[in-house]
Structure 1
């Protein structure tokens, strides 16, 4: 029997009527996150950066509305510049301003969008640096900045940064990527203090996940990450895993995560019960690196 997603329409709708914005959410981990939040009653803003993802974003919004009865819109916008961030704000105002109060409130902000880059230190160029850091680091800063006026004022807001295990273990060939994710972790700690009366701010650090980025990576990259599989508690393959996961798991000595497993950890941090957790880096990698 194949592994199936744990969330269902019968899950408690703890986010009924709330609004979440998830960047990079037309597909992959971001799409899994919005599916999880929508199943709990959350209205959704799907954000993506390219025209090529328009259809995926539109189809996802239609799915969320049909399956969970929430309101979902998509906004194509580049978060690495202020204009793109303001475009999302304007869409949110148009679609989600409360007609009774005339106010907009963004309850959940997930910084999931990011660029990946693998290559040796000698391969790094200035152009690569500025491109990656503008999306992976500047983008979350600018987007949070423009939405600060619309965050809750009772600490009920939730902000989650998507980091990576690479900044923790220093995987070869990830100078730019790991560096940008390490910067994001530091930014989250600062934001957790500056926004303490508005929202909690936490970070998660996934390891390998069954996404396009991981599946399209060369076997050399997968093998580099697989060195930690012997000491990662949750990676052994089980008969209930999907055939694709079993095949890769046997090849590399342990499986990658399912996207909905990462979404579940994000959802946990967004729950009302997580209100006493902020400024933290939470393990989302099967135990490859423990939360400290």
Structure 2
């Protein structure tokens, strides 16, 4: 229970990596704010909050709908978190201990197919959203360097996948902001990024066979992406035949994020931590 009593805000928490991070942090005693955007994700997110509260007694999970791609959504998320966790009748200040910028969108288009609408859509969610969220949350961050911000980037920021001019650019921008925030917020919190490769989530599952075929050569050379009989499920083994190897489990990404949120990680900041099975080694 190393994070007992702390408060974490997780964007895009309805499924996949976001839901796995919520589980990881709640297991450490953290109260969590689960953010989602679409109506279709509402029931799933509420059920996740109920399940977390049952599995981890003593923690509180709140659900806030807010669109991280809009100009007002990030501030609405912070206001919603404060409404859930701050009692104005007391003198206790409201504090946000952890922010996980996980919400993200990806559209794969080659150069000729990129357009201004697609550019704005991805940059608004993946870059502007985290910036506006941290801006709205800054006044509530700790003043003793105990705070934690973890940005979910992607190996796409550095490997140059075909069709990801825009998406890869958004993640490179997020990594650049990570380094800037690490300096600007040095007396408040650490700021790090994690860069997964393919993860067994709806986002990766929705990519085209052509994109997956192009990824296969990268996957085959990643030392930890070999699917293993007796360890991985039959479904994973079967898909790995076409993909060149297995995608990460969401819990494996969440474990790295959870590690960065611990008190023991207090001397790590401004880093991009590789969590991609060895598709890219850190330097």
Q: Same fold (TM over 0.5)?
A: yes
Offset, 1:86:
2.2
Q: What SS does the corresponding residue of 1:287 show, helix, strand or coil? A: coil
Unmatched tracts of structure 2, length 5 or more: none
Offset, 1:250:
2.2
What is the root-mean-square deviation in Å for CA atoms of aligned residues? 1.2
Superposed counterparts of 1:109-120, under 5 Å: 109-120=99-110
Q: Aligned equivalents of 2:143 and 2:237: distance in 1?
A: 46
2:251 is matched with which residue? 260
Q: Does 1:30 align with 2:18?
A: yes
Q: Aligned equivalents of 1:82 and 1:174: distance in 2?
A: 24
Q: Aligned equivalents of 2:91 and 2:2: distance in 1?
A: 22
The partner residue of 2:85 within 65, 80, 96 is: 96
Q: Does 1:225 align with 2:197?
A: no
Q: Aligned equivalents of 1:180 and 1:82: distance in 2?
A: 17
The partner residue of 2:202 within 199, 205, 212 is: 212
Q: Aligned equivalents of 1:210 and 1:76: distance in 2?
A: 24
The partner residue of 1:75 within 39, 51, 64 is: 64
Q: Does 1:285 align with 2:276?
A: yes
1:64 is matched with which residue? 52
1:55 is matched with which residue? 43
2:183 is matched with which residue? 193
1:273 is matched with which residue? 264
Contact 2:195 2:275 in 1 (8 A): yes
Offset, 1:100:
4.7
Offset, 1:87:
1.7
The partner residue of 1:247 within 226, 235, 238 is: 238
Unmatched tracts of structure 1, length 5 or more: 1-12
Q: Does 1:180 align with 2:170?
A: yes
Contact 2:64 2:81 in 1 (8 A): no
Larger mean CA deviation between 273-282 and 87-96 belongs to 87-96
User: TM-score under structure 1 normalisation?
Assistant: 0.93
